[in-house]
Amino acid sequence: GSVDVECDMLVLGAGPGGYSAAFRAADLGLKTVIVERYATLGGVCLNVGCIPSKALLHVAAVIDEAEHMASAGIRFAKPEVDIDALRAHKDKVVGKLTAGLAGMAKGRKVEVVRGYGQFLDANHVEVELTSGSGQDKTGEKKVVRFGQCIVAAGSAAVHLPFIPKDPRIVDSTGALELRTSDGKAPAKMLVIGGGIIGLEMATVYSTLGTRVDVVEMLDALMQGPDRDAVKVWEKQNAQRFDNIMLKTKTVAVEAKDDGLWVTFEGADGGKSAPAGPQRYDMILQAAGRSPNGSKIGAEKAGITVTERGFIPVDAQMRTNVPHIFAIGDIVGNPMLAHKAVHEGHVAAEVAAGETQGKSELARSAFDATVIPSVAYTHPEVAWVGFTEEQAKREGRKVETAKFPWAASGRAIANGADYGFTKLIFDAETHRVIGGAIVGPSAGDMIGEVCLAIEMGADAVDIGKTIHPHPTLGETIGLAGEVAHGSCTDIP
Ligand code: FAD
């Protein structure tokens, strides 16, 4: 067939991984084309993920904070929620960022071919063009020939097979749309999946006035951080949710006119699960995401894809086909935007270094010691590196130093004395190898622990670094002093 577009570098998918890779490749002199089916750049993260969820979580935090002010003698009236205006606000936040990306692509002369891309072979992608605000196919096709390619096609929400199609049953994308028939948030909602995405959306809806149940198959919410951190979260959220069902399976969902009727089954013979079907107005499916590896015609290019749809890569983000790279959610966990961005830079640098004989770029590799995780719930839970549980499992000797926020002047002043900051360090070298923070702004603060780990700092280094007083960030320094045995701020 005929070729419509030629380029040095084709990037398939314009999420945080894809656009970061494309911009870096263009900056390094490669003629770069992005193939993206959506109308805007930014992928899941900007359009239906990180950013819109945080716009709503900020609103939720303000509502929560206003309520807590009653204990300080300040009483606000009950908030009036205008869901249509809130949706418009969220869309405006997203719009600002996606418009910024479009400008950055243009400035770098990165061409965007809008449509659904599939490999024809190891040097050609066929694009079924799309138009409008969604993925409507126009019926036209274009073929792009590339020298090298970076696959950044991301992931999609898992839809449980036994759950019927119904407008009241949504995934995270649907939940972020804040659909409403009567201008109000749904009265009663079930969140299937107690991971970060499910709990963040549960937090948003609960503040908008929805009564929320959460069901989780495993024995605990928020897999990942140490349980002491999750316990703090649980205590602070005990009033927020109606029923948190652990070790419970959702086994049937019936969509009726009068509501969605859900049957649960407890792992322990049904003791904990409610008997008989329960009625909900809305269901959010947040039971994980699966990579898009098997939807891009990878086999035609000879790219290996695992059974689950992941694309295996080496430290330079190369697939088994040496001139085709893959990055982001499609290469594996953790499925996080900041991981995708760093991988995207590596892939672009390696590709450009080879093409242009710049060996220092071609040696680039993805070598992160740690990748932080954050649940932007209320309170936030942030963690990085080793957890105590993981250290124990792996037989690694560690010590921990915990600074309770009950001893932080700023945390008390802010009404956040329930939080804590914990450092985990090697018992022999005292090098920091992990950390966890629970409380407001935990996500903003965990970066310091990431830096400490990457720089090989020991806990004393952190304790001896002067932190500004009184701040929440100071609790990281104080945890360092606890590690050193020199903390004078706790009894
Ligand atoms: P994606 O962002 O998934 O982008 C892939 C792009 O490829 C999409 O635009 C898609 O349309 C396009 N595409 C796929 N196949 C094709 C094809 N065949 N042809 C053309 N285009 C194609 N991560 C964080 O780090 N922090 C957060 O706070 C956070 N919050 C989240 C909240 C929610 C509700 C969700 C769902 C996710 C959240 N994530 C968060 C995860 C984050 O969004 C992803 O890790 C990140 O978007 C992955 O980036 P990516 O570049 O790999 O792919």
| Best probe residue, ligand 1, of 46, 50, 338, 371 (max atoms within 8 Å of C-beta) | 50
35 close to ligand 1 (CB < 6 Angstrom): yes
Dump pLDDT digits (tens) for 253-306.
999 999 999 999 997 765 678 889 999 999 999 999 999 999 999 999 999 999
Please state the atom number of ligand 1 nearest to the C-alpha of residue 176: 34
Evaluate the CA torsion angle 221, 225, 230, 233 in order and state its sign: negative
| Best probe residue, ligand 1, of 44, 150, 289, 331 (max atoms within 8 Å of C-beta) | 44
Q: How far, in Å, is the centroid of ligand 1 from the Cα of 445?
A: 24
Q: Is 155:292 a contact under the CB 8 Å cutoff?
A: yes
Identify the DSSP state of 319.
-
The reported pLDDT for the residue numbered 170 is 98
| Percent over 70 (pLDDT), the chain | 99
53 close to ligand 1 (CB < 6 Angstrom): yes
Cα(399)–Cα(402) distance, integer angstroms: 10
Q: Is 440:416 a contact under the CB 8 Å cutoff?
A: yes
Please state the atom number of ligand 1 nearest to the C-alpha of residue 157: 36
Which residues have CB under 8 Å from 373's CB, separation 6+? 196, 224, 225, 334, 336, 382, 383, 384
Q: Is 423:475 a contact under the CB 8 Å cutoff?
A: no
Q: How far, in Å, is the centroid of ligand 1 from the Cα of 15?
A: 5
Q: Which residue from 409, 421, 427, 491 is spatially nearest to 463, judged by alpha carbons?
A: 421
293 close to ligand 1 (CB < 6 Angstrom): no
Q: How far, in Å, is the centroid of ligand 1 from the Cα of 74?
A: 41
The reported pLDDT for the residue numbered 183 is 85
Q: How far, in Å, is the centroid of ligand 1 from the Cα of 77?
A: 38
Q: Whose Cα sits closest to atom 32 in ligand 1? A: 49
Q: Which residue from 11, 48, 307, 339 is spatially nearest to 176, judged by alpha carbons?
A: 48
Q: Which residue from 108, 37, 83, 328 is spatially nearest to 205, judged by alpha carbons?
A: 83
Q: Is 309:291 a contact under the CB 8 Å cutoff?
A: yes
Q: Which two tokens stand for residue 364?
A: 């680039």
At 405 the three-state DSSP class reads helix
Which residues have CB under 8 Å from 397's CB, separation 6+? 391, 426, 427, 428
Q: How far, in Å, is the centroid of ligand 1 from the Cα of 291?
A: 10
| Helix intervals (H) in 282-426 | 298-301, 337-355, 359-362, 388-393, 409-413
- Residues classed as catalytic: 469
Cα(197)–Cα(212) distance, integer angstroms: 14
Tokens 């049953």 found at: 169
152 close to ligand 1 (CB < 6 Angstrom): yes
pTM over 0.90: yes
The reported pLDDT for the residue numbered 269 is 62
Q: How far, in Å, is the centroid of ligand 1 from the Cα of 381?
A: 22
The reported pLDDT for the residue numbered 275 is 86
317 close to ligand 1 (CB < 6 Angstrom): no
Q: How far, in Å, is the centroid of ligand 1 from the Cα of 76?
A: 38
Q: Whose Cα sits closest to atom 46 in ligand 1? A: 337
The reported pLDDT for the residue numbered 225 is 97
Q: Mind listing the pLDDT tens digit of every residue in the chain (491 residues)?
A: 689 999 999 999 999 999 999 999 999 999 999 999 999 999 999 999 999 999 999 999 999 999 999 999 999 999 999 999 999 999 999 999 999 999 999 999 999 999 999 999 999 999 999 999 888 999 999 999 999 999 999 999 999 999 999 999 999 999 999 998 788 999 999 999 999 999 999 999 999 999 999 999 999 999 999 999 999 999 999 999 999 999 999 999 999 999 999 999 997 765 678 889 999 999 999 999 999 999 999 999 999 999 999 999 999 999 999 999 999 999 999 999 999 999 999 999 999 998 888 999 999 999 988 999 999 999 999 999 999 999 999 999 999 999 999 999 999 999 999 999 999 999 999 999 999 999 999 999 999 999 999 999 999 999 999 999 999 999 999 999 999 998 998 87
Single-letter code of the amino acid located at 208: L
344 close to ligand 1 (CB < 6 Angstrom): no
Alpha-carbon distances of 466 from 267, 375, 406, 462, 471, rounded to whole Å: 50, 28, 20, 8, 12
Tokens 């904990």 found at: 272
Cross-strand pairs, 311: none
Dump pLDDT digits (tens) for 51-61.
999 999 999 99
At 17 the three-state DSSP class reads helix
326 close to ligand 1 (CB < 6 Angstrom): no
Q: Is 146:9 a contact under the CB 8 Å cutoff?
A: yes
Q: Is 432:396 a contact under the CB 8 Å cutoff?
A: no
Kindly report the three-state secondary structure assignment for every residue of 425-447. Answer: EECCCCEEEEEEEECCCHHHHHH
The reported pLDDT for the residue numbered 409 is 97
44 close to ligand 1 (CB < 6 Angstrom): yes
Q: Which residue from 442, 470, 447 is spatially nearest to 375, judged by alpha carbons?
A: 442
150 close to ligand 1 (CB < 6 Angstrom): no
At 242 the three-state DSSP class reads coil
47 close to ligand 1 (CB < 6 Angstrom): no
Q: How far, in Å, is the centroid of ligand 1 from the Cα of 45?
A: 5
Cα(120)–Cα(403) distance, integer angstroms: 57
419 close to ligand 1 (CB < 6 Angstrom): no
Residue 460 has, within 13 A of its CA and on its CB side, a CA count of: 6
Cα(327)–Cα(87) distance, integer angstroms: 31
